[in-house]
Chains A and B, each alone.
Chain A
Amino acid sequence: QSALTQPPSASGSPGQSVTISCTGTSSDVGGYNYVSWYQQYPGKAPKLMIYEVTKRPSGVPDRFSGSKSGNTASLTVSGLQAEDEADYYCSSHAGSNNLVFGGGTRLTVL
């Protein structure tokens, strides 16, 4: 059960779109449609942004979208805003009710 692979950092200018990847294996990301994405500000608890690959909880702006292809899931933030600057973590079901997180990506709004 290894951690999912995310790029350490990503950046974009206000108004642009940025995509963060989350790579696993056929035993986790590729095997189940149970990828979630979390946003975390420094010193704060994570917030669920995407679940089941593409679904948004109530209250999450539609600027946030999720997708998956093979063993890689992606989070796209469109129309970047200054408030989107945060750490983002993916997670995936890894079989037998196990859960695995990615290492996290720091998103910087230039």
Chain B
Amino acid sequence: QVQLQESGPGLAKPSETLSLTCTVSGDSVSSGSYYWTWVRQPPGKGLEWIGFIWNTGSTKYKPSLESRVTMSLDTPKNQFSLMLTSVTAADTAVYYCAGGRFYYGMDVWGQGTTVTVSS
């Protein structure tokens, strides 16, 4: 049974870089059984897809975030990560990592981690 756990600072200052990590258990991030993704949810609002990363390290980012987003795999640690640069208050959200075995349907989710951007 695959399980995901997000970790990272809960607070970031405006203009700084946000870094989050998702630790995977029950499968290898490089196995190819899952693709991996980050999704966020601002307070009281809906879900927003941030990007995908595949077992090869290939990525696809939401076009409107592409200039600020980097995703990567850490195979030895069995983790994947998210970096978001130049954050503003609009980036305040619960950030979820997720994995999918189905085409564009994510069936495994972490519990989410709250990130607040404030000075």
Contact = CB atoms under 8 A, between A and B. Distances in A.
A104 B46 contact: yes
A36 B46 contact: no
Given A1-B63, A97-B52, A89 B105 contact: no
A46 interface: yes
B105 A51 contact: yes
B64 interface: yes
A82 interface: no
A89 B47 contact: yes
Nearest to A101: B47
A48 B107 contact: yes
A3 interface: yes
B46 A55 contact: no
A98 B63 CA distance: 8
A47 B109 contact: yes
A36 B104 contact: yes
A52 B103 contact: yes
Given A34-B104, A96-B60, 18 more contacts: A1-B62, A1-B64, A36-B102, A36-B106, A46-B39, A46-B47, A48-B102, A48-B105, A48-B106, A48-B107, A51-B103, A51-B104, A57-B102, A57-B107, A89-B47, A91-B49, A98-B60, A101-B48
Interface of A: 1, 3, 34, 36, 38, 40, 44-48, 50-52, 55, 57, 89, 91-93, 96-104
22 contacts: A1-B63, A3-B46, A34-B103, A36-B104, A40-B47, A45-B110, A46-B39, A46-B98, A46-B106, A51-B104, A57-B107, A91-B104, A91-B105, A93-B104, A97-B60, A98-B49, A98-B63, A99-B37, A99-B52, A99-B104, A101-B48, A104-B46
